[in-house]
Amino acid sequence: MELDVLNLRKFVAPEIVFGNGSRKLAGRYARLYGAGKVFLVTDPGVIETGWVKDVIASLEAAGLSYVMFSDVSPNPRTFQVMQGAEEYLANKCNLIVSVGGGSPMDCAKAIGIVATNGKHIVEFEGVDMIPVPAPPLILIPTTAGSSADVSQFCILSDQDRLLKMAIVSKTLVPDVALIDPETTYSMDAYLTACTGVDALVHAIEAFVSKGSGPLTDPHALGAINLIGEHLPGLINNLQDVELREKVMLASLKAGLAFSNAILGAVHAMSHSLGGRLDLPHGECNAILLDQVMEYNFSHAEDKFKVIAEHLGIDARGMTTSDLKKSLLKKVRDLKKEVGIAKRLGDTGVKTTDIPSLAANAIKDACMATNPAKANQRDIEVIYEESL
């Protein structure tokens, strides 16, 4: 009997500890994974919040020494990865802990790859290009959106080519994710909104992805429901612990979904924007979401109907046209309600940037699982309509 590989699905995930205070378990888990000296990756902004102090205290309580690396920018650069790997090796570290948003966590993943494999990070671009697994990795997210803490993705900015490169491999799935909703208290309203909508994009793209299936769909739909129901309330009450937990749980679910189902055109286009113009990833995703949904709608109508229902729309008796209008209005209203009103033009994107942006986006790995096949002109039009 011949194996139908197209119907097979795999699911990878780290060990996950979810709940307030879980960041303080970093030292315990580092010891369990045989840490001698820990390489602690973060960034200056996260250091200012005080969360790194808690992690350091847990490492010291476990009797572990550490070296801290914080030369990480938003949209982490390949040269920062190479610098970090050099410091990791020079200090004879054997385990990596990262505290922060997607940028420090992706940088930490990449540092591990280089430290173990001894090549420049650009040589690992693509899918399953890492021959030797990275050192043990413990990630502690401080935003509710990137989901780098549970995914097999690593996204880096290559300044030489002015693009974001994607590295995808199960070896990038962390060993442990300590997901602590308390760490999101340091986000202001706009960052909370952008990261929350980023998680919504992850969930929607994962659900309509060509790689979706029964292992990922429940996570994607759970995330969509949680974000639609709780993100607006959180923006109006940033200190509400229950709402923080709900949105962080949504980010976790969305991450488990997209890590395994992969993504689509929103992320391909956002990666291009971040690589060429160094724009914030979550904000770009939020701006592009409804335009890409409109483009994809006819290629996944049944799935978009389910998404609409999980966002609270009663789709019974609706025509396809009415459903599409209602869903797009719901997403646009949600963005407006949480304070995201920017267009691409407001971020500095110009019409003259669009051809090169589209040329890079169409080559992005995330395009492979977008429900609608697109050519460069299709992508250009979506950018133009988002200006």
Average pLDDT, the chain: 96
The answer to whether residue 1 scores a pLDDT higher than 60 is no
Report, as an integer, the average pLDDT of 323-352. Answer: 96
Confidence of residue 4 (pLDDT cuts 50, 70, 90): low
Q: Which has the closest alpha carbon to 299: 209, 361, 180? A: 209
Q: What is the pLDDT of residue 162?
A: 85
For the domain spanning 5-184, the CATH number is 3.40.50.1970
The answer to whether residue 3 scores a pLDDT higher than 90 is no
List, in sequence order, every residue forming a beta bridge with 168; answer none if it has no partner: 127, 153
The answer to whether residue 55 scores a pLDDT higher than 90 is yes
The answer to whether residue 374 scores a pLDDT higher than 60 is yes
Report, as an integer, the average pLDDT of 356-377. Answer: 96
Report, as an integer, the average pLDDT of 329-345. Answer: 96
Give the model confidence (pLDDT) of 338-360 as tens digits. 999 999 999 999 999 999 999 99
Q: What is the pLDDT of residue 163?
A: 85
Amino acid, res. 10: K
Q: What is the pLDDT of residue 9?
A: 84
For 230, residues 6+ apart whose C-beta sits below 8 A from its C-beta are 243, 246, 247, 250
* DSSP β-ladder status, 153-158 and 163-168: antiparallel
The answer to whether residue 6 scores a pLDDT higher than 90 is no
Give the model confidence (pLDDT) of 162-176 as tens digits. 889 999 999 999 999
| Count of all residues that appear for the chain in the document | 387
Phi, psi of 167 (to 5 degrees): -115, 125
- Selected from 3.10.129.10, 1.20.120.80, 3.40.190.10, 1.20.1090.10, the CATH number assigned to the domain covering 188-386 reads 1.20.1090.10
Q: Could you tell me the residue ranges of all domains in the chain?
A: 5-184, 188-386
DSSP 158: E
| % of the chain surpassing 70 pLDDT | 98
Give yes or no for a contact between 55 and 140, defined as CB atoms under 8 angstroms apart: yes
CA pair distance 115, 136, nearest whole angstrom: 12
Confidence of residue 253 (pLDDT cuts 50, 70, 90): very high
DSSP 25-62: GHHHHHHHTT-SEEEEE--HHHHHHTHHHHHHHHHHHT
The set of long-range contacts for 73-77, using a CB threshold of 8 Å and a minimum separation of 24, is 73/43, 73/103, 74/103, 74/278, 74/280, 75/103, 75/157, 75/164, 75/274, 75/275, 75/278, 75/281, 76/103, 76/104, 76/106, 76/107, 76/110, 76/156, 76/157, 77/156, 77/157, 77/158, 77/159
Low-confidence winner among 5-14, 27-36, 244-253, 275-284 (lowest mean pLDDT)? 5-14
| % of the chain surpassing 90 pLDDT | 94
Q: What is the pLDDT of residue 210?
A: 96
Give the model confidence (pLDDT) of 85-143 as tens digits. 999 999 999 999 999 999 999 999 999 999 999 999 999 999 999 999 999 999 999 99
